Structure 1
């Protein structure tokens, strides 16, 4: 027995010595940094990279933490469903005293479980949305030189479960977070790092991590099935599509229209081919395979295809078709939908993150009483449009059964006619 304790004591001593060596070899002091405008400017660049505006408007976020704690966060309503083991808490983040606690689906009065849910949410949500919290109340921002590059040091002087914690965000060339280093009360060693690189683009437009890897023994933190979406905005968008008979639009094969009397179109939507005509040019534009397009000048087919003319036709088609069918594109890929109030009524804010000629453009749709668009405001940075308004008027029901606009009026009184609009099969 004495021999056993001697061997055990030796192993324990070696482990302690190893832990001490590891600690002193890897422990880092909290870096010094400069507060002020430069630090805030770097934080804003990080905000823009992660699309913070979309986070502010996100309605629902779901995830789990290490496969044990599960969350549905109704962010705008300040309510979170937190569940683990046989416990479920409907946590009111604004007024915790109004929260509800359930054990085995039975409502109970249990302050300990409620406090545990609050602590779980504070910790586990931080691992999901920490980059969006760098301007929270009680935060201090400092700019730090880290290996020759600018990094952002955030200190939480209040809030959460462990105020006083600091995090050094390491950013890439586009100001996206790739990792952070931690100086926290629950980890005795300073400078432990965690990856922030396994990102997911969500439906609501925000970017969220699916997992993290810690430098401390390679520990993994999976975030489960991460989702962020806007059900109220989706419901409003579906009302618009129903009002303009979008089902019929999807089945429509041919669309014809003109643009301000200057350009004319015949679009074989089913086969992704559009005849685009302006001045002396006509381009048979293959919208999905531009290299198959052909150019006609004064009615003569050009044997050598002019790529610049193809590109011009493509840009014209993108712009001019949008003025005809934009309301039918509310659920295109990489479109972010949110609800905004305009004069006390719900309006639909739509941002196109990809596609078209100028991705990143946004439009605020105002709707009539039956959800047909009557106007929008345009936010197009490339054209320096910041809230330019235009009506969507004189809607017609086409032969194919869908609704399309035939005229627009701009805020300055200018008119834009779509000519003789047709939709048929």
Structure 2
């Protein structure tokens, strides 16, 4: 028996020594940093890289944490549906007293479990959206040098379940976070790192991590099937498409119009060929295989199409067709949609992340009582437009049955006519 106790004592001593050595080697002191404009500027760059505006507009987030806790977060309504084991909680994040608990489908008033759900959410949502929360109330930002590069130290002075924790965000050359180091009350070792990679581009436009790997013992945190989307914005977009007879638009083969009387178009949507003409130039533009395009001067076919002219025709078509059919293209790839309030009514904010001539542009559509677009505000950085207002008016029902606008008016009084608009088969 004495030998057994001696063995246990030696084993405990070895464990203590190994633990102490591990702590001594891996523990890092909290770095010092400088608060102020430089730290805030770095934080803004990180938010911009992640598209912080898209996060603010995101309606619903779904994920799981280690395949144990499952979440549907209706962010705009401040409601989270949490489930684990035999429990389900509808958590009201702003009014926790309204939260509801169900155990095996039966309602319960067990407040300890509701508090546990709140703590789960505080922890597990951090691993999903922490970089988007760096300007929340109770946060302090400092700039720190890490391996000769600027890093961002965030300290939570209040809020959450463990105020006082600090996180040092390591950024790449584009200011996207790649990892962070932690100084928290629940981890005794300072400076434990975790990856912030394997980012997924969601439908709402935000980048969310699908898993994390920790430096301590190679632990991994799986975030499950991560999703971010805007359900109500999609519903509003569908109402717009229904109002402008989009199903008829999809079946329309030919569209004809002009742009301010200066440029003229005939578009064969089936063959993806557009006849674009201005001045003495006419281009048969093959939108899918641009190299096949042909150029005419004074109706004389050029033996070799001038690539500069073809490129100009392509740019003209991208711009001028937008003014005719933009509302019909709300569900194309690379388009982010969210809802904003304008004069107390729902408006649709549309951002183009790819395609066209100037990806990154945004348009805020206001609608009439029948969901037909009546105007938009343009946010086009390349043209220094920051909310320029333009009407979409004099809609007509074409021969093919779809709706298209024939006029636009700018806030400065300038009118843009689309000419004699036609849609037919």
TM-score, scaled to structure 2: 0.97
Change in CA separation of 1:301 and 1:156 when aligned onto 2, cut-off 3 Å:
same
1:159 and 2:175 correspond:
no
Task: Give the distance between the partners of 1:251 and 1:24, measured in 2 at CA.
Answer: 71
> Structure 1 residues 18, 403: closer, same or farther in 2, change over 3 A?
same
1:39-50 equivalences under 5 Å are 39-50=39-50
* Aligned twin of 1:120: 120
CA displacement at 1:26 relative to structure 2: 1.4
Q: Which moved more, 1:339-348 or 1:183-192?
A: 339-348
In structure 2, the partner of 1:226 is: 226
Matches within 5 A, 1:17-96: 17-96=17-96
What CA distance in whole angstroms lies between the structure 2 residues aligned with 1:16 and 1:309? Answer: 77
Matches within 5 A, 1:412-423: 412-423=412-423
Distance in 2 between the 1:173 and 1:311 partners?
Answer: 32
Q: In 1, distance between residues paired with 2:25 and 2:337?
A: 49
**What is the CA–CA distance in structure 1 between the aligned matches of 2:272 and 2:358, rounded to whole Å?**
20
Pick closer, same or farther for the CA change 1:291–1:9 going to 2, 3 Å. farther
**Equivalent runs, 1:266-281 vs 2, <5 Å:** 266-281=266-281
Further displaced range: 338-347 or 68-77: 338-347
Q: Mean Cα displacement is larger for which, 327-336 or 280-289?
A: 280-289
SS at match of 1:210: strand
Tell me the distance in 1 between the aligned counterparts of 2:31 and 2:290: 53
Distance in 2 of aligned mates of 1:420 and 1:9: 94
2:305 is matched with 305
Distance in 1 (CA, whole Å) between partners of 2:258 and 2:4 is: 92
Higher mean alpha-carbon deviation, 278-287 vs 113-122, is at: 278-287
In the alignment, the residues of structure 1 paired with residue 172 and residue 290 of structure 2 have an alpha-carbon distance, to the nearest angstrom, of 34
Q: Mean alpha-carbon deviation: is it higher for 306-315 or for 38-47? A: 306-315
String of CA shifts for 1:54-107, please: whole Å, max 9, x gaps.
Answer: 111111111100000000111111110010000001001011111001100100
- CA distance in 1: counterparts of 2:217 and 2:302, whole angstroms: 66
Paired with 2:71 and 2:287, the residues of 1 have a C-alpha distance of 42
Partner of 1:138: 138
Q: Secondary structure at the match of 1:360?
A: coil
Structure 1 residues without counterparts, runs of 5 or longer: none
Q: CA deviation at 1:337?
A: 1.2
**TM-superposed deviation, 1:40:** 0.5
Q: Secondary structure at the match of 1:270?
A: coil
Please give the secondary structure, in 2, of the residue aligned with 1:107: strand
Tell me the TM-score normalised to structure 1 length: 0.97
Query: Can you list the C-alpha shifts for 1:269-313, whole angstroms capped at 9, x where unaligned?
Result: 122221111122222212122222222222222233322222111
Structure 2 gap ranges (5+): none
For 1:200 and 1:39, the matched residues in 2 are separated by: 27
Q: How many Å apart are 1:12 and its aligned residue?
A: 4.5
Q: How many residues align?
A: 425
Point out the more displaced range, 387-396 or 299-308. Answer: 299-308
CA-atom RMSD, angstroms? Answer: 1.4
Deviation at 1:125, TM superposition (A): 0.3
What is the alpha-carbon distance in structure 1 between the residues aligned to residue 243 and residue 38 of structure 2? 49
